[in-house]
Amino acid sequence: MSTNKNEDVIKYETKNPIVKLFQDNFFKGINRSMSTIDFESVFEAGCGSGYVTDFMKRQYPKADISAMDINEEKLSIAKARIKGVKFSIGSIYDIPHPENSFDLVISTQVIEHLDDPLNALKELLRISKRYVIISVPNEPLYRISNMVRLQHVQAFGNTPGHINHWSKSGICALANKVCDVRSVQTPFPFIILLCEKRKDT
């Protein structure tokens, strides 16, 4: 459990002022996307130890929030940290909810890890009534920022587990295959898309 917790602490509770600025900008970007739409229910796929979940709970305390992750250890950390959220374990490829279950579905820093990101996005859209927010590293800027900070130098800045590498145009092209991209934000070094479900989806 300590390994998973440290991984998320490094990511979200860093003391490095530059990385902290990156994370602050990331959360501001997520909030900008959420603030432009109406929703009462939210589902987060790939919540990890719950840092984005906690942010949403604090920003939108009246929202009905559910969250899921495939990693039991990280999920147990999230459950201990955050109250008033319905947590469950499961795969992003087979989310145990019916179609059109949630006003908003969100998945941040997840699909860059997946072998089949398009089918994962389809599953997010399936359970959404209308909106999906996804975020991914902005490449090659993300890898360059790692190299500048002397992180993952032997892998040329590639974070372990990242098997997909998208630019702004690349991730928009992927998303536009199955939904309509309504807004794109690029808080360095991330990309955040607000997507809308097509009526025939």
- Write down the H helix ranges in the chain: 2-12, 17-35, 51-59, 72-81, 117-127, 141-148, 168-176
Mean pLDDT on 117-133:
98
Give the lowest-confidence range in 1-15, 75-89, 92-106, 156-170: 1-15
pTM of the model: 0.90
Residue 40 counted as domain residue: yes
Confidence of residue 6 (pLDDT cuts 50, 70, 90): very low
Confidence of residue 22 (pLDDT cuts 50, 70, 90): confident
C-alpha triplet 142, 143, 147: angle, nearest 5°: 120
CATH number of the domain bearing residue 170? 3.40.50.150
Residue 70 counted as domain residue: yes
**Burial state string for 108-125 with b = 16 or more CB within 10 A and e = fewer than 16:** bbbbbbbeebeebbebbb
Residue 140 counted as domain residue: yes
Answer for the pair 10, 51: CB distance below 8 angstroms, yes or no.
Answer: no
Mean pLDDT on 180-200:
95
Residue 122 counted as domain residue: yes
C-alpha triplet 15, 20, 24: angle, nearest 5°: 145
Domain count for the chain? 1
Q: What's the confidence (pLDDT) of residue 9? A: 57
Q: Provide the residue range defining the domain that includes 56.
A: 2-196
Residue 148 counted as domain residue: yes
Residue 201 counted as domain residue: no
